[in-house]
Amino acid sequence: MSVMRTRKDRITAVLSYLGSIMDATETELDYTTPFELLIAVMLSAQCTDKRINQVTPALFAAYPSPEALAKATPEEVFEYIRSVSYPNNKAKHLVGMAQRLVADFHSEVPTTLEELTTLPGVGRKTANVIQAVAFGKAALAVDTHVFRVSHRLNLVPSTATTPYAVEKALRRYIPDETVAASHYWLLLHGRYTCTARKPKCAECGLAYLCKSKDKNI
């Protein structure tokens, strides 16, 4: 196949291919409410979804509402999440997040980027996941997988050296109705095929577009 001439063509080709082979357009985290999703996404930073899904059932049962979690101490929450990465900081952020929900948002998870990022422990990536998954908004979260795949497939310029820069570059050419699904297609491709170490180039249908093929970069 010939190499795509424009970045828009490359993005279109990549998303068309990934959309044709993937069913999943949702997070692999287990949750039933926006509040549970927010907790799970906050815990998932630098940790696997599999690990998070192992600890959240007991955590959700112990703290089923913002009010319940707001009354807990970080030390109490720590006991439920001790096996995840950075449990001390995450316990503090979870309690602080719940307290802010109760105090400022009537115990409801807010729907905008500006409001979500006022919550302790919630940055732009987490806020975009919540907007896209919980509220169906055209928000594109850029994690390490999306960042890596976007650069390897030359979907973004080399000058896009931050997650926000990658997000802006991708959003130029992804229609609103495809944004949320695009995040998961790119994420899952990075998680299972275009891995950080030993990417499975021989199995990848996008290898013809990849400037990093067989270079493991």
71 is catalytic: no
Alpha-carbon span 155 to 12, nearest angstrom: 10
49 is catalytic: no
> Exposure of 73 by Cβ count < 10 A (0-12 exposed, 13-18 middle, 19+ buried)?
exposed
> Exposure of 103 by Cβ count < 10 A (0-12 exposed, 13-18 middle, 19+ buried)?
exposed
Catalytic residue among 8, 143, 168, 215: 143
Scanning the structure block, which residue is given the tokens 């630098």?
46
Q: Is 17 strand, coil or helix?
A: helix
Catalytic residue among 9, 104, 125, 198: 125
Residues labelled as active-site residues: 125, 143
